[in-house]
Amino acid sequence: MEFLNAMAILANYVIVPGLAYGSQLALGALGVTLVYGVLRFSNFAHGETMSMGAMFAILFLWLFKSMGVSIAPLPTVLLALVPAIICAAVYILITDRVVYRFYRIQKAVPTILVVVSTGIMFVTNGLIRFVIGPDDRSIGDGARFVMKAREFKNWTGLDVGIAIKTSQVITVITAVVLVVALFWFLEKTKTGKSMRAYADNENLALLSGIDPEKVVRITWLLVAVLATVAGTLYGLDKSYKPFTFLQLLLPIFASAIIGGIGSPLGAIVGGFIVAFSEILITFAFKGFFTRLVPDDFAPEGLVQLLSTDYKFAVSFAILVIVLIIMPTGIFKGRTL
């Protein structure tokens, strides 16, 4: 019984939030990895792209609410995702046409493109603050919990509850659907194959008659979808604050690099590695161990490796360790 209780603690505080956070990171890292694979630069503006997508979702959410549209018990923001993705895609394609394309034609070195992307980051960040302001926004509505802690306790008779938020279930399901769709697209469709070919060997792809501009457009479209969904899900799960997305950039890059940047599968695995390590290393294991060991051995302290304030440090530490041990990431050499 005590063992089950301890497991329930682990499930409630580590596994459930870890799965949700990992899915959000994986979606973010997929976007970074796609840009890196096809356009060959580290996109520092990706966090802001996510923020932009989430902002559009919130604007449409407000519109739908004012019109009285609702898809209860699901949060209305899911409905707002569709127009939000379209708006984000238009925004990204405009930035590509106005800014990135020039450097692509010039064949500028990747570092210049990184600097260019910080310029885009500034503009996007400013636009977001201009439109929606820097405040905290809550975007969830509908049923808050799929399973409440009390219901779980009554149902199983354990004295530790597991609470599962609607947003967590939606996050994981959406992420799975999106990832399956993305892999199907990359592996099975002609456009997807041409994208992979272009990422693998640009010149050979050009010789085979693949239109590079089309490949780039499709990539940005996929990035828009991934970023909007990732940003909105993160906002739904926690809350939407424009400045958090600059901080998210670090765990997202860590996920992408740990998995092997350029590899979609790696991005997903990396996302979950980062999410679970962040949670495990900052989790206070006191309750867990107290239930597992005899009372005499129960720990006095919190049994917490690092305080939660160092969450971002963890993702970075893992990044450094992975880079030292295997510099190309876990799935090395496998591109799109």
Partner 1 sequence: MSDSMRSVLAFGIMALLLVAVGVIQSWSLSLTILNLCIISAVMSLGVNIQWGFAGLFNAGIMGFAALGGVTAVILSVSPVGAAWSAGGFGIVGAFFVVLAAVAGVIMVQRYFHDQSRSRLLITTAFLLFAFIIYRMVLDPAVEAIEAVEPAKTGFLGGFGLPIVLSWGVAAFVAAGVAWIIGKIALGLRSDYLAIATLGISEIIVSVLKNEDWLTRGVKNVNGLPRPVPYEIDIQESEFYRDIATSIGIPIVDLSSIIVKLSYTCLFLIVLVIVFLLAERAVRSPWGRMMRAIRDNEVSSSAMGKNITARHLQVFVLGSAVIGIAGAMLTTLDGQFTPGSYQPLRFTFLIWIMVIVGGSGNNLGSILGGFVVWFIWIEAEPIGQQVMNLITSNMADGSAIKAQLVESASHIRLIMMGVILLLVLRFRPQGMLPESRSQ
Question: Which is nearer to partner 1, 80 or 116 (by Cβ)?
Answer: 116
221 in contact with partner 1 (CB under 8 A)? no
User: Is the CB of residue 43 less than 8 Å from the CB of residue 35?
Assistant: yes
123 in contact with partner 1 (CB under 8 A)? yes
Considering only 111-119, 206-214, 231-239, 292-300, which stretch makes contact with partner 1 by CB under 8 A?
111-119
63 in contact with partner 1 (CB under 8 A)? no
289 in contact with partner 1 (CB under 8 A)? no
Give the up-direction half-sphere exposure of residue 60: CA atoms within 13 A in the CB hemisphere: 21
Question: Which is nearer to partner 1, 19 or 336 (by Cβ)?
Answer: 336
Nearest Cα residue to 39 out of 219, 204, 267, 293: 219
Considering only 78-86, 131-139, 210-218, 291-299, which stretch makes contact with partner 1 by CB under 8 A?
131-139
- 311/275 Cα distance (integer angstroms): 10
122 in contact with partner 1 (CB under 8 A)? yes
Q: Which residues have CB under 8 Å from 326's CB, separation 6+?
A: 332
User: Is the CB of residue 308 less than 8 Å from the CB of residue 30?
Assistant: no
97 in contact with partner 1 (CB under 8 A)? no
69, 94, 112, 173: residue in contact with partner 1 (rule CB under 8 A): 112
Binding residues with partner 1: total (CB under 8 A): 48
Give the per-residue contact string, 231-270, with partner 1 (x = CB under 8 A; - = no).
---------------xx-xx--xx--x-------------
- How near is the Cβ of 6 to partner 1 at its closest, in Å? 21
Which residues does residue 137 pair with via DSSP β-bridges, in sequence order?
240
333: left (phi over 0), alpha (psi -120 to 50) or beta: left
CA dihedral 255, 261, 205, 98 (to 10 degrees): 70
316 in contact with partner 1 (CB under 8 A)? yes
- 139/97 Cα distance (integer angstroms): 32
Which residues does residue 165 pair with via DSSP β-bridges, in sequence order?
145
121 in contact with partner 1 (CB under 8 A)? yes
69, 97, 110, 138: residue in contact with partner 1 (rule CB under 8 A): 110
Which tokens is 58 given? 């919130």
CA dihedral 314, 315, 318, 319 (to 10 degrees): -140
93 in contact with partner 1 (CB under 8 A)? no
Which tokens is 160 given? 């530790």
- How near is the Cβ of 312 to partner 1 at its closest, in Å? 5
- 133/52 Cα distance (integer angstroms): 12
293 in contact with partner 1 (CB under 8 A)? no
- Residue 231 carries which side chain, given as an amino acid letter? G
Question: Which is nearer to partner 1, 72 or 325 (by Cβ)?
Answer: 325
Q: Can you give the binding site for partner 1, defined by CB under 8 A?
A: 41-42, 44, 99, 102, 110-112, 114-116, 118-127, 129-131, 133-134, 246-247, 249-250, 253-254, 257, 301, 305, 307, 309-310, 312-313, 315-316, 319-320, 323-325, 327
